[in-house]
C-alpha cells in the first residue's frame, strides 16, 4: 500500500498571501496524483489531477507541481473561500487508492 | 451534468449490516469508461477509500475492509450499492459515492454524503 503523508497538518496564512502545501508518497506514483478541497459540511471537490492539471472552473491561483514522491499544491493570493482542508490522493497503484491525512488551511 | 445521491438508514445497530445506495443522474452507470466508488470519512478525520465497481460488476476493495464489504451495481436502476457487515462504532462516518474515470481513477464528482451512525 502506498502511504501518502501531507505536511503541515495545519497551515496558518493571511488572506492575500501564498500558501504551499506538501504531499509525499512512500513510493513513486509518477504524476498520478490528485488534490481535493473540502469545506465544512461539504463533500470534497476535485481541484487538480495528473499532479498539475487544474479542473475546469478552478481558479488559476491554484497550481500543482511535482512527480514521483514529492508534490506541492500552491495557492497564490489566498481568498476567504480558500480556507478549507486539502487532501492529496494517489491513483498510480491500486487497490488500494490512498489519501493523505489532510492539511487544514486556516486564516492567520 | 452528472449528479450522485446517497441514500439509506442514518442509524445502524452494532453487529448489523450498513446498506447504502448511490443513485446516478445525468450519466449512464453502464458507461464503459467509469468506475463508481465509495469513500468514507469518520467525524473530524480523513478520507478512506472503501471500494469501487465497474458496470459489468467487477469490484475492487480496500484490503482493510474487504472481508466485510460488498459493492454491487444495478444498471436497470442506474445505481450502485454498498453493504458493510458486522459494523461497530468505528464505522460511524460520512459515506460518499463518487465517479472515477477508468483511465485515471480520481474521484469527480462526489455525492453530498450520507452520515451513518453505528449505535444501539
Digit-coded pLDDT (tens) for A67-97: 999 999 999 999 999 999 999 999 999 999 9
Look at strands A103-107 and A10-13 and give their pairing. Answer: parallel
B83, three cell numbers: 453493504
Q: Partners of B10 in the beta sheet? A: none
* B109 in contact with chain A, both atoms CB, cutoff 8 A: yes
| Residues B37-67 pLDDT 10s | 999 999 999 999 999 999 999 999 999 999 9
Distance from CA of A74 to the nearest CA of B (A): 19
The Cα A1–Cα A27 span in angstroms is 9
Of A36, A45, A49, the CB nearest to B104: A49
H and E: helices and strands count for chain A: 0, 11
Q: Confidence class of residue A28 from pLDDT cuts 50, 70 and 90?
A: very high
Residue of A nearest to B95 (CA): A43
Residues 60-89 of A with CB under 8 A from B: 87, 89
Q: Residue B110 — φ and ψ, nearest 5°?
A: -115, 155
Kindly indicate the confidence band of residue A10, based on its pLDDT and cuts at 50, 70 and 90: very high
- Chain A touched by B54 (CB under 8 Å): no
Q: For residues A11 and A20, what is the distance between their CA atoms, to the nearest angstrom?
A: 9
How confident is the model at residue B55, as a pLDDT? 95
Nearest CA among B70, B31, B35 for reference residue B50? B70
Q: Count the alpha carbons within 13 Å of B92 in the hemisphere toward its beta carbon.
A: 12
Amino acid at each position: 500500500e502506498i502511504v501518502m503523508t501531507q505536511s503541515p497538518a495545519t497551515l496558518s496564512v493571511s488572506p492575500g498571501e501564498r500558501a504551499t502545501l506538501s504531499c509525499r508518497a512512500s513510493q513513486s506514483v509518477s504524476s498520478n496524483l490528485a488534490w481535493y478541497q473540502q469545506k465544512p459540511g461539504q463533500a470534497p471537490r476535485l481541484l487538480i489531477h495528473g499532479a498539475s492539471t487544474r479542473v475546469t472552473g478552478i481558479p488559476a491561483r491554484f497550481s500543482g507541481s511535482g512527480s514521483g514522491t514529492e508534490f506541492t499544491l500552491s495557492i497564490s493570493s489566498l481568498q476567504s473561500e480558500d480556507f478549507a482542508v486539502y487532501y492529496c490522493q494517489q491513483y498510480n497503484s491500486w487497490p488500494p487508492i490512498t489519501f493523505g491525512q489532510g492539511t487544514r488551511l486556516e486564516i492567520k | 451534468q452528472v449528479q450522485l445521491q446517497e441514500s439509506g438508514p442514518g442509524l445502524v445497530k452494532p453487529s448489523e449490516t450498513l446498506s447504502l445506495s448511490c443513485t446516478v443522474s445525468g450519466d449512464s452507470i453502464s458507461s464503459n469508461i467509469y468506475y463508481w466508488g465509495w469513500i468514507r470519512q469518520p467525524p473530524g478525520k480523513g478520507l478512506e477509500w472503501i471500494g469501487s465497481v465497474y458496470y459489468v460488476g467487477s469490484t475492487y476493495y480496500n484490503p482493510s475492509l474487504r472481508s466485510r464489504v460488498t459493492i454491487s451495481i444495478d444498471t436497470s436502476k442506474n445505481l450502485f450499492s454498498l453493504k458493510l457487515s458486522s459494523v461497530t462504532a468505528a464505522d460511524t462516518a460520512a459515506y460518499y459515492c463518487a465517479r472515477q474515470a477508468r483511465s485515471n481513477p480520481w474521484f469527480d464528482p462526489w455525492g453530498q454524503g450520507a452520515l451513518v451512525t453505528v449505535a444501539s
